[in-house]
A and B are shown apart, each in its own frame.
Chain A
Amino acid sequence: VSGPAGKRAARRAPRPGRRAPRQILIGFVIRFAVGWIVSVLLLTRAPRLERLAVETTVAQLTGTARVLGFSATGVGNRVLVEGVPLRIGPDCTPTLPIVTLWLAVLTFPATWRMRILGLALSATLLWIYNLARILALLPVLRWKPGWFSVAHSYLWQTATLLAILGIFILWLRMQRPRPAA
């Protein structure tokens, strides 16, 4: 095809060696969705993992609070910081947000070096974020317990998803094109 129609078609066609962005995104969405289904089915079979995540969160929360100068004790799935009691359930751990971000990193087109970096970065940052989130709820529980529901809802739902998105975008921006072969 030649002339203006040919030029338009050439502009629309993906450049050699590079897929069109939308194709990349749709491929990513499909791989991610399949990976999510597999991950969820595996998680439903691993109650030991949830217990481990709860115990680790309780231990790290207690340790962090002590480092910050607060009195803190942790027994089982319960934490007491400055007299404020907290119960850490499986949903209070960063397991699912980390699984979400790991899947995103593993299913997005990238080099393995970048993927390994993404896995380490996302787990570390989300674990720190989750500890900060729980600690941020303590003053609400102590001084404005009536606001706990809305604060918990915002910090767990909206802010956590924003944290996942932000870390993923940060990782995307760290990508560099591979040298041409």
Chain B
Amino acid sequence: VTWFLRCTLWASGLAAPCWLLSSGYQDVVASAAEAVLAAFGEVVRIREIEIMSPHDLGMFVAMCLSSRNAPWRERRRAMLVGAAALFVIEVLTVVLSIVLAFGDPAGGFGRVQTAAGVSAVLATIPWVGAVLVWLPLLGHHELPPMVSVAAPAK
């Protein structure tokens, strides 16, 4: 519970700078996605994206800073590794959403017809990324009692 309260405070504090940085940061993600698509021979110009980042990064950093049971060195390493992983997830998610939205209907998963379909793919960034990256890096420091209780006993 204290971890969750610390996380709430950190995340709330980091929300404002994340909001201020969001436009510039999303341009960087868009440029990286363009580069990935260009590497596969697809020339795409992304004018603007709305992917609710870097709030995912802010939440991840808040989760790491709140994880006081982990040594500082491990938290620092987790923040560096996790931030890089989240950036990769953001870029790949944008690339995937573009492929699904504008790809060849005959190939792969086919073309997604609705804007909400693309939204569902892009939702990976806000709803999944931060927690899934934090859990294997630092989750075991904060959740062991609960995890042990949840594990089916024989």
Instruction: Using CB atoms and an 8 Å cutoff, list the residues of chain A in contact with chain B.
Output: 16-19, 21-22, 24-26, 28-29, 32-33, 36, 40-41, 43-45, 47, 50, 90-91, 96-97, 100, 108-111, 149-150, 153-154, 156-158, 161-162, 164-166, 169, 172-173, 175-181
The number of residue pairs between A and B whose CB atoms lie closer than 8 Å in the complex comes to 138
- Residue of B127, B140, B150 touching A108 (CB-CB under 8 A): B150
Also in contact, A47 and B147, with CB within 8 A (given A25-B136, A96-B127, A153-B55): no
CB contacts (< 8 Å) of B105 on chain A: these are none
A17-B154, A157-B59 given; 5 more Cβ-contact pairs under 8 Å: A47-B113, A153-B22, A154-B16, A175-B150, A180-B153
Q: CA–CA, A130 to B22, complex, Å?
A: 23
Tell yes or no: B103 within 8 A of A by CB.
Answer: no
Also in contact, A97 and B127, with CB within 8 A (given A158-B11, A165-B4): yes
Contact B140 A154 (CB under 8 A): no
Contact A44 B151 (CB under 8 A): no
The 8 A-B pairs at the shortest CB distance, nearest first, are namely A44-B117, A17-B154, A157-B55, A43-B120, A22-B140, A90-B116, A172-B146, A21-B147
The smallest C-beta distance from A123 to any residue of chain B, in angstroms, reads: 15
CB contacts (< 8 Å) of A156 on chain B: these are 52
Interface residues on chain B, number (Cβ under 8 Å): 51
Of all chain A residues, which has the CB nearest B93?
A40
Contact A90 B119 (CB under 8 A): yes
Of all chain B residues, which has the CB nearest A53?
B116
CB contacts (< 8 Å) of A21 on chain B: these are 140, 143-144, 147-148, 151
Q: Which of B12, B120, B127, B130 has the most CB of A within 10 A?
A: B120
Also in contact, A109 and B124, with CB within 8 A (given A90-B119, A162-B8): no
- Residue of A25, A44, A149, A162 touching B121 (CB-CB under 8 A): A44
Contact sample, A vs B, 6 pairs, CB 8 Å cutoff: A21-B148, A108-B150, A111-B152, A153-B55, A161-B55, A161-B127
CB contacts (< 8 Å) of A181 on chain B: these are 154
The smallest C-beta distance from B9 to any residue of chain A, in angstroms, reads: 10
CB contacts (< 8 Å) of A33 on chain B: these are 128, 132
- Residue of A17, A41, A162 touching B7 (CB-CB under 8 A): A162
Also in contact, A22 and B126, with CB within 8 A (given A41-B109, A50-B114, A162-B7): no
